[in-house]
Amino acid sequence: MKRFAAFAGALSAAVSLGLLGACTGTEAAAPETASEPAGQPVAAPDPAPAPAPEPEPVVYQNTRFSYSGELTQGGFIRGTVPDGTQSATLGEQELAVAEDGSFFAAFDRDSPANLALTATIDNGQVVQETLAVSPREWNIQRVNIARRPGGASEAFMKRRRPELDAIWDARQMRTGSTGWQQDFIWPVTGRISGLFGRQRIYRGEPGSYHSGIDIAPGNGVPFVAPADGVVVLARSGFSLEGGLIIIDHGAGLNSAFLHASRITVEEGESVRQGEHIGNVGSSGRATGPHLHWSLKWNAARLDPLLFAGPMD
């Protein structure tokens, strides 16, 4: 009996330690582990992704403005912006930059002596250059009389307001013309009867200055487009301008031709440099037959003489 009791105790201890299977005759269950099926290699874990390479910094060759022209009041420049330019300005005026980086900019008759030419580059850099705009001696007449009081009558302004609206709307049109890239020619040759910028001062009070140049070749003489463009206004009957043609040369630059006796183009028509667009007359408020040619770049008034050069 003592020998049997000792055997039974040993058997019970072995079961509790997991050394023998249960009394059903099966083997003790092995602990569950994650493993590949027998005979299959164990897959290595995916390597950590390599860090993305730093982008190479953009290196531009052309890092400055390039330009030439007439850096004076009423003048202009043409040039190219630095590589990578996203936007550019002259003073507060945004420039229209062509796909090849070329641009046009100009200086009002009363431009300040210094203007900033600024480009913002796509890498965040800002390129700025200060332009020195030379002043000009304008033909100023000081008269010892007072300006006519009262201004325009309401009856006149009732007619005038729609005309001013039509002129304003025409000058806001952007046609994509590239005539601004050309060297301008004279629309007609003849005696110059009025220069750009002349002005009267009435007892210290300035009157409006002459906004263009007057050419008097004779009544009915044909005149032509000074550069390529698109006709944005071509109408007769304006109270002051008479027969009026406005051509958009692109980049914010446009020409206006006043007092025409005949208009030979239509609104929306593309014209080429040297193409006949009208005939000289004295329509509107004019003291005699002449062509008044004026140029504007956005809000700036420019001197046509600086565009066309000396008249042959």
Q: Are residues 128 and 144 in the same domain?
A: no
Say what the pLDDT of residue 48 is.
74
Average pLDDT over residues 129-142: 96
Residue 93 placed within a domain: yes
Provide the pLDDT for residue 55: 67
177 lies in a domain?
yes
The residue with greater pLDDT, 43 or 290, is: 290
Predicted pLDDT of residue 30: 42
Question: Does 75 share its domain with 164?
Answer: no
* pLDDT value, residue 23: 38
Q: Are residues 127 and 267 in the same domain?
A: no
The CATH number linked to 82 is: 2.60.40
Residue ranges in the chain assigned as alpha helix (H): 2-16, 154-172, 304-308
| Stretch 2-27: mean pLDDT | 40
Chosen domain end from 82, 99, 132: 132
CA dihedral 134, 246, 310, 302 (to 10 degrees): -10
Distance between CA 131 and CA 114 in Å, rounded?
A: 6
**Spatial separation of the C-alpha atoms in residues 136 and 196, rounded to whole Å:** 11
3-state secondary structure string, 173-192? CCCCCCHHHCCCCCCCCCEE
pTM higher than 0.95 for the full model? no
Q: What is the dihedral of CA 24, 26, 31, 32, to 10 degrees?
A: -100
| CA nearest neighbour of 66 among 111, 131, 6 | 131
pLDDT of residue 183: 97
What is the domain-level CATH number for residue 253? Answer: 2.70.70.10
| Domain shared by 255 and 275, yes or no | yes
Looking at 78, 101, 132, the residue that finishes a domain is 132
Cross-strand partners of 205: 202
Pairing of strands 126-132, 191-194: unpaired
Q: Among candidates 194, 196, 230, 235, which has minimal Cα distance to 215?
A: 194
71 in any annotated domain: yes
Domain-located, residue 247: yes
Using pLDDT thresholds of 50, 70 and 90, give the confidence band for residue 203.
confident
Query: 147 falls in which pLDDT band (50, 70, 90)?
Result: confident
Model confidence at 152, pLDDT cuts 50, 70, 90, reads confident
Task: Please report whether residue 9 resides in a domain.
Answer: no
Residue 41's pLDDT band (cuts 50, 70, 90): low
- Is 27's pLDDT higher than 70? no
Range of the domain at 83: 66-132
253 and 303 belong to one structural domain: yes
- Whether residue 149 is found in the same domain as residue 294: yes
* Number of domains comprising the chain: 2
Mean pLDDT of the chain: 87
Question: How do residues 48-73 score in pLDDT, each as one tens digit?
Answer: 777 777 666 666 878 899 999 999 99
Quickly count: other Cβ atoms within 10 Å of residue 258's Cβ.
Answer: 25
Supply the pLDDT for residue 81.
98
* Final residue of a structural domain among 95, 113, 132: 132
**Together in a domain, 268 and 151:** yes
Which of 13-22, 53-62, 163-172 tops mean pLDDT? 163-172
Confidence of residue 76 (pLDDT cuts 50, 70, 90): very high
Cα distances from 103 to residues 39, 144, 181, in angstroms, run: 74, 45, 9
Residues 128 and 145 in one domain: no
Mean pLDDT on 285-310: 97
Residues 82 and 107 in one domain: yes
Confidence at residue 293, expressed as pLDDT on a 0 to 100 scale: 98
Per-residue pLDDT, 44: 66
Same domain, 169 and 264: yes
pLDDT at 33: 46
Task: Give the model confidence (pLDDT) of 210-245 as tens digits.
Answer: 999 999 999 999 999 999 999 999 999 999 999 999
Does 162 lie in the same domain as 103? no
Q: Which residues pair with 254 in a beta bridge?
A: 248, 296
Question: Does residue 56 belong to any structural domain of this protein?
Answer: no
CA distance 271 to 54: 52
* Residue 29 included in any domain: no
Same domain, 124 and 208: no
CA distance 169 to 235: 14
- Does 3 reside within a domain? no
DSSP state of 39: T
